[in-house]
């Protein structure tokens, strides 16, 4: 009896608190990302890119005060699941931040089951692009396979007739090669799967040399990618067999760690620090001034995601309970993207351009410069399977 009264009283208090808070309280955004482990620099850039947009808005996104609640997932899906469950219980309705597809697979279902929103700033696994697409799930970065399909197109354009593909032996690695093969028209001489924790690639490179392809396409993000580029140059292969890769196999931090051995490499991506539009130039300048380092693609994607969220928050004046209006505003993607061009497909994944780039000297370092556009308004292969 007494307990019930206390419970009732607490509830009343809570309701009263919520009612009073509604007018002023900032919208909380759950930001789960990878800040520890060797991949921690990626999450760091994502958090900083997102925070930069908030800072520039004076603590607001789209004129609505926001509060970023950051949690580290340490690249473990179980950690991320716990974090998101905690955040959902505390009533957070809007989420972003997850970098890795396998972590997102643990986070997204919890968020969506609860009727909350997820806007991805990096991972775009095929799982949620097709049949299992959700009206509250938006991807502001790219769909995984589509990125590598652009790689296949680039290989066609460069006139490579015979290629060797290399990727680590896990889901994203296999997806990468599948995406590449979807558009590549030449002959794939060999698909070499490396070990996930491998750091020396001399054996694979000897095999590449003996196969003598026109080029190789390799997907090794993070430290493995630095190892790969360094050893490829050291083995004298850069001069004889060109290397093509998605830009996250050679992001800005990796470029800085690889030095001159990265010069002349081809990458495929949707953005570079050298992108020639005013908003991108301003972003690179502001990011460099704020954090003392040049932003990576990850930083750019996070910033774009923040702007997208800002546009939708503005439309509903921060009231996330107006579900249809908020979704419609997100889908409109009414923001100035750093990529130059951006719109959502019917499965709420991007329709965007991809570029072929070449790593060249820039200032006192190296940066990818755009050679030409290889995919115009690229869509992913799963749009048709998404109903509603």
In the complex, the residues that contact another protein under the rule CB under 8 A are 37-38, 40-41, 44, 169, 190-193, 195, 197, 199-200, 202-204, 206-207, 209-210, 223-224, 226-227, 230-231, 234-236, 253-254, 256-260, 293
In whole angstroms, the minimum distance from the beta carbon of 66 to another protein comes to 26
Nearer to another protein, 11 or 203 (CB): 203
Nearer to another protein, 79 or 143 (CB): 79
Contact 358, 374 (CB under 8 A): no
- Strands 215-218 and 137-139 come out as unpaired
Nearer to another protein, 134 or 204 (CB): 204
d(CA 168, CA 159): 25
Nearer to another protein, 129 or 208 (CB): 208
d(CA 378, CA 150): 8
Contact 98, 128 (CB under 8 A): no
In whole angstroms, the minimum distance from the beta carbon of 242 to another protein comes to 18
In whole angstroms, the minimum distance from the beta carbon of 226 to another protein comes to 4
Nearer to another protein, 40 or 323 (CB): 40
Contact 155, 214 (CB under 8 A): no
d(CA 68, CA 28): 6
In whole angstroms, the minimum distance from the beta carbon of 232 to another protein comes to 11
Beta-carbon contacts of 159 under 8 Å, excluding residues fewer than 6 positions away, are 214
Nearer to another protein, 202 or 385 (CB): 202
H-helix segments, 133-271: 144-157, 171-183, 202-211, 223-234, 237-240, 252-258
In whole angstroms, the minimum distance from the beta carbon of 223 to another protein comes to 4
CA separation, residue 293 to residues 44, 48, 106, 289 (Å): 12, 11, 31, 8
In whole angstroms, the minimum distance from the beta carbon of 343 to another protein comes to 34
């Amino acid at each position: 009896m007494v307990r019930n009264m206390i419970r009732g009283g607490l509830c009343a208090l809570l309701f009263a608190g919520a009612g009073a808070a509604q007018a002023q309280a900032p919208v909380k955004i759950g930001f789960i990302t990878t800040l520890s482990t060797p991949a921690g620099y990626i999450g760091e850039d994502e958090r900083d890119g997102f925070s930069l947009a908030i800072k520039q808005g004076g603590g607001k996104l789209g004129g609505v005060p926001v509060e970023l609640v950051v949690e580290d997932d340490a690249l473990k899906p179980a950690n991320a699941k716990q974090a998101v469950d905690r955040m959902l219980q505390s009533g957070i309705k809007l989420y972003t931040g997850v970098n890795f597809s396998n972590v997102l697979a643990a986070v997204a279902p919890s968020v969506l089951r609860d009727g909350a929103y997820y806007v991805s700033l990096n991972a775009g696994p095929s799982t949620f692009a097709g049949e299992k697409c959700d009206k509250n799930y938006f991807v502001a970065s790219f769909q995984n396979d589509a990125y590598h399909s652009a790689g296949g197109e680039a290989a066609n354009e460069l006139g490579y007739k015979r290629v060797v593909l290399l990727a680590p032996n896990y889901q994203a690695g296999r997806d990468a090669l599948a995406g590449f093969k979807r558009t590549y028209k030449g002959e794939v001489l060999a698909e070499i799967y490396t070990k996930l924790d491998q750091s020396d690639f001399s054996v694979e490179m000897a095999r590449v040399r003996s196969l003598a392809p026109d080029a190789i396409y390799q997907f090794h993000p993070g430290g493995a990618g630095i190892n790969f580029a360094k050893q490829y140059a050291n083995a004298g292969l850069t001069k004889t067999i060109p290397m093509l890769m998605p830009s996250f196999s050679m992001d800005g931090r990796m470029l800085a760690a690889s030095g001159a051995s990265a010069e002349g490499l081809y990458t495929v991506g949707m953005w570079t620090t050298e992108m020639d539009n005013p908003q991108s130039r301003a972003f690179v300048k502001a990011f460099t001034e704020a954090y003392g380092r040049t932003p990576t693609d990850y930083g750019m994607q996070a910033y774009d995601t923040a702007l997208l969220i800002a546009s939708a928050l503005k439309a509903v004046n921060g009231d996330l309970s107006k579900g249809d209006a908020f979704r419609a505003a997100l889908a409109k993607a009414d923001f100035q993207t750093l990529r130059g061009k951006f719109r959502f497909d019917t499965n709420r994944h991007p329709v965007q351009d991809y570029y072929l780039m070449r790593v060249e000297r820039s200032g006192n370092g190296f940066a990818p410069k755009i050679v030409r556009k290889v995919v115009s308004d690229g869509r992913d292969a799963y749009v048709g399977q998404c109903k509603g």
